[in-house]
Structure 1
Amino acid sequence: MYLFAHIDFSLPLEDPILKFLLILVIILAAPLLLNKLKIPYLLGLIIAGAVIGPHGLNLVLRDSSIILSGTAGLLYIMFLSGLDMDMSDFRHNSWRSLVFGLYTFCVPLLLGILAGYYVLGFSIYSSILLAGLFASQTLIAYPIVSKLGIARDKAVTIAVGGTVITDTLALLLLTVIVGMATGNVNEMFWWQLAGSVALCIAIIVFVFPIIAHWFFKQVSDNISQYIFVLAMVFLGSFLAQLAGLEPIIGAFLSGIALNRLIPRTSPLMNRIEFVGNAIFIPFFLIGVGMLIDYRAFFRDWESLEVAAVMIVLITAAKFIAAWLTQKSFRLSRDQRTVIFGLSSAHVAATLAAVMVGYNVILGHTPDGEPIRLLNESVLNGTILMILATCTVSTFATQRGAHNIAVRQTHPDTDEKSAKVEEHLLIPVANEQTVEELVALSVMLKRAKEPGGRLYALHAIDNQVEDPSAEKRAEKLLETAATTAAASDIYLQELMRYDVNISNAIVSVSRERNITDIIMGMHQMPPSMPGLPVLPGISGASGPGIGKMTADVLMQSNLTTFIYHPVQPLATIKRHLIVVPEKAEQEAGFKLWLRRIRLLAENSGAKVSLLAPESTLAYLRPRERRRPDNIDYVPFTQWDDLPSLGHDMRDDDCLWFVMSRRDRVSYHPSMSRIPAYLEHHFAGYSSVLLYPVQAGDTESRYIRV
């Protein structure tokens, strides 16, 4: 017993190790236990927080450490919602988000004012402030849609955008009403409010991306990049707080600002989601649970009356807003359920508003009791309302999101048959380019698509005696596997002895049923000005191709990407893809075009397809709406390719869709492209794309 005498086991727990251990056990166990009861894990963590909190078993106090971690978790939720957004869809649906934001603000505001003034007998200022509580909402159920993989569904985009709008309006209403109730509203008040809000938004939206782009370009350390992102989230939140907005607005805008610089398939994105879902967000949910006081049910009739009015009217108002949105934009019932679920929870902005209203004292009664803008019954009712709305939110979101996810995993027959199981091979030989080759491969692959495989191959020439060859190979393959694992993608390592490197690549391609090869561009030594033209391969001479690559292109007929990275792929702002005439007549046209569309979807960077007008007709998607980040530009200057330099900007990546000699889309200028890349476009990343082509044989491998 003496061994434990120095440890304080009294309740509430004070020992930081015990407190942290208890919370980690809850984060681990609560979802596992409650999932068997079909209770969403978010609600399980809230219930667990209520049980261990000061109003439950009093195991842990809601002290500064819980509040700090919880605040970080709430900001994380809003930041992830901005980071996960498909910016193309967000721009396309921005007016829908605006309409939903007005619906979900105005309907609760109207019902709240009527209920506060006529049902509960509050003053007009107190009634308006109560209505502001009704209007605000918290994306507490967002991790559910993110986990189920529907974060880019139209309904989620509308709900997230609408949440920012309604929370901003609700918190601005709070600022104005408190100012009017205390007599502090004058002409200067309006100018200061408008100026500070505009300045805050401008700094986050326009300055943050510039700083982040510079940082990611200069610093490649994984830990430094993550800490930088975290710092930007809190800086954006602090700027919003300075401007008189709620910090969650700044966190969301920070996510929007960094959206394009953190691709959703990147290792950095995987780290951000992992740490948030493992630590910060669960801490926030447990902290919310600690606020719940079950004794408020039995404290007094007025608290119960206020809570009942708030719960019924808030739920009804949010459902009406979701229903109006569904009818306005012809959404499905499941999408309506998701919108209702995401918008019905009230935590962050609601707590902020009720505490501000509770702390504003308008005067005193003859007995000396303070007259508050929002009384204690509203405060108690808000706590009960938080529990009820979080429960409704998690169940509704789980149901609607699950149905949408199930539908997305069962595509139409035509769509399913069009999909080919993808196997990407990455030959690695240069440790300086391994990570970028893997990054490009991940960007060209559909995110988390089952069935596909990623392979890294290091081939060793068995005619060369080199005792250290295997160690170098193991290091290269380990680097490739680690880079892919950081994006939550499994990469299989392959090491092969063969008579030559090209033969190893082609043989593995046959054995593993490879669909695409992503390899580095050959770097020509200064003493070798060029290579002789190899028969059958355009572009086989000059720097950039090399004999080994030319041999691979001669012996295989696979979609092949030859990549020369000059800067990190995530910092590329625009991909210029030059397409030759009649490219649509090649056998692999749809295959490489699908990869380019995945590049646009996964990276978020601008993609400009430059081609003759006759080919552009086949490049443009048949659907009425095309992705906002893909442009289609007429281009006929294949005889003067260096003129492209006039249109190049910093952070561009130049792609050329190539052709083997004597094929349909071959152009004589293609033989000079490697030299152009060295002399005219040396400062830019570049990719040579060789599609599958029908020649003397329809086989995927060409006999030579």
Structure 2
Amino acid sequence: MLLISQLLAVEPATDVLGNEPIVPFAILLVVILVVPIVFEKLKLPGLVGLLAAGVLLGTNGLNVLQNDLPTMELLSDIGLVYLMFVSGLEVDMEQFRRTKNRSLVFGTFTFIVPLIMGTIVGRVFGFGWNASILIGSLFASHTLLAYPIVSRIGAVANEAVVVTIGATIFTDIGALLVLAVCVAINAGDFTIVRLITLIGSLVVYSAIVLFGFDRAGKEFFRRTGDDEGNQFLFVLLAVFLSAVGAQLIGVEKIVGAFLAGLAVNDVVGEGPVKEKVVFVGNVLFIPIFFVDLGLLIDLPAFVKSLSTIWLTLAIVVGLISSKFIAAFLAKLVYRYNLNELLAMWSLSMPQVGATLAATLVGYRAGLLTEGVLNSVIVLMLVTATLGPLITSRVAASLVPVAATDLQTETAVVENDPYRQENGKFTVVVPVYNPQTEQYLIEFAALLARQSSGRIIPLAIAKASVHMNTPQVDTAYQRSLELLNNAAQMSRELGVEAEPLLRIDDAIAQGITRASREQNASVIVMGWGKRTGIRSRLFGNVIDSILWATHCPVAVSRLLTSPKDIRRILVPVENLTQRAIQPVKFASILAAANDAQITVLHVCERRASESKKAWMRSQLSLIVGKLGLPYPIEIQVTPNDNVAGAIAIAAKDYDLVILRSMQRRNSAGVLAISDLNAQLSNTLTCSIVLLGEPQQDIPAIAPNKRQLVRVKTVTSDQ
């Protein structure tokens, strides 16, 4: 009877779920996993889906989630801080330093003009001076949402683009400082003395964060070496310590988060730690922030309020026009051409990261109304669509061209990653899987034989604290067997082989260090699968090698013998010399097998005939600079589905060579298409994923001496 009474006393399931803080988190995980995928299938941004999910699940919809729940408040605050941190982390400091003076001038234009315009809009609609200036500060910042477009096209070296990127630092810092002052004034009992004290505290605090964390981070990273786990934790600690420090001096935590991003920018560089930090934010915390933002939107009230619609129109038009005026002033001062003007305008137009963060802070502080919040959401959707659209139209014309043929030829030769300065052409082949060893050795033999080089089959035996453990003995014996097989295969193929066995703590480090010691020209290794959340978060062996290597890495999935390769397809995304380095690699294979190489560039479906002709001519000039002794076929095909177009074209080829590029995430971009991942799942032929060492390769000038056969494809393949 006692047991029955206890069972009857159990709370209803609805009450348990309603009081359990883990339930909102579980719902959020389902939303950020499913909703962006569904919206992207519908050709809509995943970010819009997250906002829509927030509206649907909020108090104005199904009332499943409430933004005042402790779980939502905590996760949303973390997402808000993370969003601003990533905004600072994504600023390219190296490019900024090259044009910092011009970036300061354009940053001043694109901050002051929108600030004035936004203040006027606020005053016209009856806001006080404090709130109006805050609205103006929302206009002043911008998010480099279209950066991946100019990066893909190869226009990031254009001065106008670099200046716009550098201006982001000034606009975002300026907007956040205005926010800090406006919120402090709104808190009441604010005097000139307190204003001076606040500004002085901000200056001292900013110096401590920017220089303190930069030096501490460099020292910590130097001492920890390759310990990415502790380095990841250090970066997170820097973020939240900076956020807490900002609150201690009386300003918003997003100011500290942005400064922390700038502070550790040089420390993490473009390495794997940065990728993991951004990955965590873009996959988990930042999406939760956008869902919480959707919870605040009262869509019925927004639609019914005519005055809000006029406010929204004024904010959208005011922002777009003020950003154009700022870009036009920069054009007059520095004599940029029309396309550079449009690029600066479109790059500085999108309002996502800093704008949304500052809007939410102002709304929570009572400075901004719900109408302003809803209007800024509309502003984000309009500018995030219009800005990248304009950028994509003008970016191709911004690709820089070197001054003379002589400079170009020198650049091509000096930056050839397959040129061996001293000694033989050396191919390092890490061997681990006996099932793929045969084709890898054959592939390496083709490369080595064509360049009169050598093969170094490499086996890594994992080390242990004690060298006499059974695990080390087993790994050692297995490695010897693999190397003996590799040596036998090399002899049969008529190529010199020098097997190398190395005992190391980590496989990736062992491969990269041995390759550096042997002065490897290229590393040839088997295709590794990326599975599970741990691999996504902490990477795998191939990821680590691609980040650390000094030479090109050919990650191969060979379905047939490399000796049977007769047709090679090389998709080229960027119209730059570095982007077509896979063609140079393909030429080595082609020479060995007397194979035909086809260079494929997929452009937008709506590209004009003149634009396609320009692309063909640029590819012809760049490929011609490689100086290959046989013709290269060039195809330019219009298709908005890049992966689909490549997959269709690849059906007629034995091998597809893809270029491995680092992914760049901009704050607010929550879902980035991984072209290589899509192709690896759809291509039915052999694949080589070519990763290159980090280096800068200048753009290529026209060359009259070329041997390129151009083929135009006027319809989708």
TM-score range, shorter chain: 0.5 to 0.7
Partner residue of 1:290 out of 295, 302, 318: 295
1:242 aligns to what?
248
**Residues 125 and 288 of structure 1, relative CA distance in 2, 3 Å threshold:** closer
Name the stretch that deviates more: 392-401 or 181-190. Answer: 181-190
- The offset of 1:165, in angstroms, is 2.8
Matches within 5 A, 1:208-607: 208-219=213-224, 220-264=226-270, 266-298=271-303, 300-325=305-330, 328=333, 330=336, 331=340, 333-342=342-351, 346-356=355-365, 358=366, 374=367, 379-400=369-390, 425=427, 457-458=458-459, 471-472=475-476, 497-498=486-487, 507=496, 520=513
User: TM-score normalized by structure 1?
Assistant: 0.54
- The offset of 1:42, in angstroms, is 1.9
- The offset of 1:91, in angstroms, is 0.8
Please tell me whether the aligned partners of residues 31 and 50 of structure 2 are also in contact (alpha carbons under 8 angstroms). yes
Please tell me whether residue 139 in structure 1 is matched to residue 147 in structure 2: no
CA distance in 1, matches of 2:148, 2:70: 27
CA distance in 1, matches of 2:241, 2:214: 13
Please tell me whether the aligned partners of residues 196 and 243 of structure 1 are also in contact (alpha carbons under 8 angstroms). yes
Please tell me whether the aligned partners of residues 144 and 397 of structure 1 are also in contact (alpha carbons under 8 angstroms). no
**Residues 210 and 27 of structure 1, relative CA distance in 2, 3 Å threshold:** same
CA distance in 2, matches of 1:269, 1:203: 22
Q: Deviations over 1:159-209 (max 9, x none)?
A: 555444334434444555566678745453244223211211211122112
CA distance in 2, matches of 1:467, 1:111: 70
Please tell me whether the aligned partners of residues 176 and 255 of structure 2 are also in contact (alpha carbons under 8 angstroms). no
- The offset of 1:304, in angstroms, is 4.3
**Residues 79 and 67 of structure 1, relative CA distance in 2, 3 Å threshold:** same
Unaligned runs of 5+ in 2: 1-6, 419-424, 432-454, 462-469, 500-509, 524-543, 549-576, 582-717
CA distance in 1, matches of 2:266, 2:493: 37
CA distance in 2, matches of 1:91, 1:171: 22
Q: Which amino acid aligns with 1:389?
A: L
Please tell me whether the aligned partners of residues 157 and 400 of structure 2 are also in contact (alpha carbons under 8 angstroms). no
Partner residue of 1:84 out of 86, 90, 94: 90
Please tell me whether the aligned partners of residues 133 and 354 of structure 1 are also in contact (alpha carbons under 8 angstroms). no
**Residues 469 and 507 of structure 1, relative CA distance in 2, 3 Å threshold:** farther
Matches within 5 A, 1:622-641: none
User: TM-score normalized by structure 2?
Assistant: 0.53
CA distance in 2, matches of 1:129, 1:161: 23
> Aligned with 1:498: secondary structure?
helix
> Aligned with 1:457: secondary structure?
strand
Partner residue of 2:31 out of 23, 26, 41: 26
1:51 aligns to what?
56
1:205 aligns to what?
210
Please tell me whether the aligned partners of residues 242 and 256 of structure 2 are also in contact (alpha carbons under 8 angstroms). yes
Please tell me whether residue 75 in structure 1 is matched to residue 110 in structure 2: no
Partner residue of 2:112 out of 106, 109, 113: 106
Q: Which amino acid aligns with 2:375?
A: M
CA distance in 1, matches of 2:122, 2:89: 37
Please tell me whether the aligned partners of residues 237 and 251 of structure 1 are also in contact (alpha carbons under 8 angstroms). yes
CA distance in 1, matches of 2:105, 2:477: 57
> Aligned with 1:45: secondary structure?
helix
Please tell me whether the aligned partners of residues 120 and 306 of structure 1 are also in contact (alpha carbons under 8 angstroms). yes
Q: Deviations over 1:299-324 (max 9, x none)?
A: 65544444443343234333433454
- The offset of 1:89, in angstroms, is 0.7
Q: Deviations over 1:560-619 (max 9, x none)?
A: 9xxxxxxx999x9xxxxxxxxxxxxxxxxxxxxx99xx9xxxxxxxxxxxxxxxxxxxxx
- The offset of 1:379, in angstroms, is 0.4
**Residues 100 and 53 of structure 1, relative CA distance in 2, 3 Å threshold:** farther
Please tell me whether the aligned partners of residues 496 and 504 of structure 1 are also in contact (alpha carbons under 8 angstroms). no
> Aligned with 1:310: secondary structure?
helix
Please tell me whether residue 65 in structure 1 is matched to residue 84 in structure 2: no
Q: Which has the greater radius of gyration?
A: 1
Query: Identity rate of aligned residues, in percent?
Result: 30
Name the stretch that deviates more: 468-477 or 242-251. Answer: 468-477
CA distance in 2, matches of 1:409, 1:296: 47
Please tell me whether the aligned partners of residues 40 and 394 of structure 1 are also in contact (alpha carbons under 8 angstroms). no
Unaligned runs of 5+ in 1: 359-373, 430-453, 461-465, 478-492, 511-516, 523-543, 561-567, 573-593, 599-704
CA distance in 1, matches of 2:153, 2:232: 23
> Aligned with 2:458: secondary structure?
strand
CA distance in 2, matches of 1:161, 1:506: 51
CA distance in 1, matches of 2:245, 2:218: 20
> Aligned with 1:347: secondary structure?
helix
Query: How many matched pairs?
Result: 465
**Residues 417 and 254 of structure 1, relative CA distance in 2, 3 Å threshold:** same
CA distance in 2, matches of 1:111, 1:197: 26
Q: Which amino acid aligns with 1:387?
A: I
Please tell me whether the aligned partners of residues 296 and 380 of structure 1 are also in contact (alpha carbons under 8 angstroms). no
CA RMSD of aligned residues (A): 5.3
- The offset of 1:230, in angstroms, is 0.6
Q: Deviations over 1:538-560 (max 9, x none)?
A: xxxxxx99xxx6xxx8xx9x599
Please tell me whether the aligned partners of residues 428 and 456 of structure 1 are also in contact (alpha carbons under 8 angstroms). yes
Name the stretch that deviates more: 66-75 or 324-333. Answer: 324-333
Q: Deviations over 1:658-697 (max 9, x none)?
A: xxxxxxxxxxxxxxxxxxxxxxxxxxxxxxxxxxxxxxxx
CA distance in 1, matches of 2:471, 2:17: 63
Matches within 5 A, 1:6-25: 8-9=13-14, 14-25=19-30
Q: Which amino acid aligns with 1:252?
A: F
